Every structure is written in C-alpha cells, then in structure tokens.
Chain A
Amino acid sequence: MSKFKKNSSASQDIPTAALPDIIFMLLFFFMVTTVMREQEILVKQVLPKAEQLSKIQKKSLVSHIYIGEPRNIGTYGEEPRIQTNDVFMEPDELTLFVNQEKDKLSEAERDRITMALNIDNEVKMGIVSDVEQTLRKSNARKILYKSLRGVQN
C-alpha cells in the first residue's frame, strides 16, 4: 500500500481559474441557439413520431398552423381548434391567413410557401382534411406534417 503514498507532495488542486471562461462559452452557445417563442401556443401539442423526415430548405417560406385540443378547456371547449398566430380560426377562414402570409413574401417566392402543420397526436382526421382542402383551394399546396424522429410505440 505504501507504494501509492510516496508522491503525495504534488498539489492536488484542479485550477479553477478557467472555469468562468468555460461557463461563458457554454452560455454564449445557448444564447445563440435559443429561439424565443414569439407566440403562445394555445392548443395541446404532442407531435406524432415518424422516420421519413425532410428538413425545410428555407425557413422564411414557412408559416405555422397549430391544431389540437385547447389548453384552456373551460374557455374554448374540448373540440380541437386551429390556431394561427395568436387566434383561433375556422377551417374556411384559413384562406385569409394564407393570403396574409403570402403577402409577406416577395412575388417570386409566393408559390413556394410551405405550411407547417403542427397537429396534435390525438386529433381526428376530420379537421385535418378540412384544413388540407382549404389550403388546396387557396393555393398553398406545399405542406409539412411536423413530426418528431422516432418509432411509434
């Protein structure tokens, strides 16, 4: 045992002088990657899982639509609702939303607008297909079913 105790004269302290620098580096990483949510989502959002996911090429072309059961059941009821920006909408009102979103883009990009559908797992297909039909009519035909990577359990 004495073999290990021989060289105990060396200092055993780990230098902590660089610790703040390391922490700052981490801090900057998280500050840069953080995206503050610009809107409050008023519906439940548990996205489905899938494997064949594609990445969006250009983020400025994407508009988000949220569908799910309202979080505040007391006020809005239990039926799944459609949320865009900060308001609930009926499926046929979506045309207006699509046109507003298209107006934000330059003329050349208008046809490439992608609608990201953030749809909760538990929603039934009825409302989803209503939304799809409206998007079809309002000529926003590229859609992205937002989902997480993973295998269904």
Chain B
Amino acid sequence: MARNKERGTPEVSSGSMADIAFLLLIFFLVTTTIANDKGILMTLPPPPEPDQPIVEFQERNIFKILANSNDQLLVENEPYNKPISELKDDIKAFVLNFGNPDQEGIDTYNSLPSQMKARAKQSPESSDHPKKAVVSFKANRGTSYDLYIQIMDAAHAAYNEIYAERVGINAMEFLELDQSNDVEKRMYLQGRAGIPKAISIAEPDK
C-alpha cells in the first residue's frame, strides 16, 4: 500500500463556517413570518329560533351606532363628526350612567371605586344601569370593514377600560390576564361582575 507519509491529521477548514451560517441565517430571516394570532375576540349570538319572543328594550338603554355605505356615522340619532377615539368615552359614559338602577345596579354602583362613582351622570335619558345597557351597532352592506373594526375596537375598549379601572389596572393589562392563574382569574371576574359586555351587531340591510 502506498502511503503518503507526509499527511498530517486531516482537518476540515472551518474558516467559511461563519459564512455558511450567515447564509442560512439570512434565509431564515427572510422567510420568517412571526405568527400573530391576535385579534378582537367575539362571540356571536345563537341562531334565532322561530318562536323566539321579542325582547323589548327601552330606548334609553340602547346606545345606537349606525354606519352607512359612505362610512358616515349616526350615533344616538345624531350625525357623528368627532374622531372615533371619542366614541369610546361616550360609550363609557353611557354604560356607567346609573340613571335608574335596581337593587343589583345599586350593588354594582357601590362596588365601583370612588373616581368612577363620581363620573356616573345619572341622567334619565341614558342607561338605567350597566346590566341593562346595550351598545348596538348596525352597519350597511357597503360599510367598509375598516370602519367596522374601528367601531368594534372602540366598543371593546370602552368595556375593557371600565373592567380594568375597577380592579386598578389599565386596559392592556386587563386583556393580558391569564385565565389559568387563580389570582388573575379572580381579578378578571371581579372586573366583569355586574357589567356584562353587551355589544350587539345587527344584521345589515340588504
């Protein structure tokens, strides 16, 4: 067997290792899409049953938002020209109005922190108490989805801020509460107690 006596220990040159790794790195950097599974979570009402009784609501307990196909808003029967960010405050004022609370409403009222109590206007033209208050949104088939999301966002923001303020955190922290953790779950339930998130979406006109 002819043997090359001069051969030393065989070595793979590792100088280009960094380059190869860089190449792979750049490939993965480019192809990566960090999955975002976030959004506005909602539960639709059950399908209507034919013999369902029609529930009567008093006008004052409904916060009506209408949108037409030109993306113009009609809020509480008046054209709405303010920026949508103010809609949130209007909804909050409406939910926490306590115009004519029953016993349950009074209990809810008493559980609120004092700065929230001070904001209750108790106007007879607005909602009786949070349990009866409904935010109703009706869009047209031509309304843009963008506006729809903005309204939904405002309505959810109003409720989440109310819940969050009750337990002394901000709305973002309230949304991050982990349901599997006992302490955080209690905070979540405490925030929501007595104030159901009543956002109704009417079927648009044909």
* Assembled-state Cα–Cα distance A20/B14 (Å): 9
* Assembled-state Cα–Cα distance A35/B33 (Å): 7
Residues of A within 8 A of B69 (CB): 124
B140 touches A125 (CB 8 A): yes
- Of A120, A128, A141, A145, which is within 8 A of B40 by CB? A145
Does B41 make an interface contact (CB < 8 A)? yes
Does B106 make an interface contact (CB < 8 A)? no
Main secondary structure of the interface of B (DSSP, over half): mixed
Give the number of residues in B that approach A within 8 Å (Cβ atoms): 51
Does B198 make an interface contact (CB < 8 A)? no
Residues of A within 8 A of B18 (CB): 16, 19-20, 23
B41 touches A54 (CB 8 A): yes
Residues of A within 8 A of B40 (CB): 50, 52-54, 144-145, 147
Does B86 make an interface contact (CB < 8 A)? no
B156 touches A52 (CB 8 A): yes
Q: Which residues on B are within 8 Å of A, measured CB to CB?
A: 14, 17-18, 21-22, 24-25, 28-29, 31-47, 69, 84, 139-146, 148-150, 152-153, 156-157, 160, 171, 175-176, 179, 201, 203-204
12 A-B contact pairs sorted by A residue (CB < 8 Å): A20-B14, A24-B21, A52-B153, A124-B142, A126-B141, A136-B44, A141-B45, A141-B46, A143-B44, A144-B37, A145-B40, A146-B38
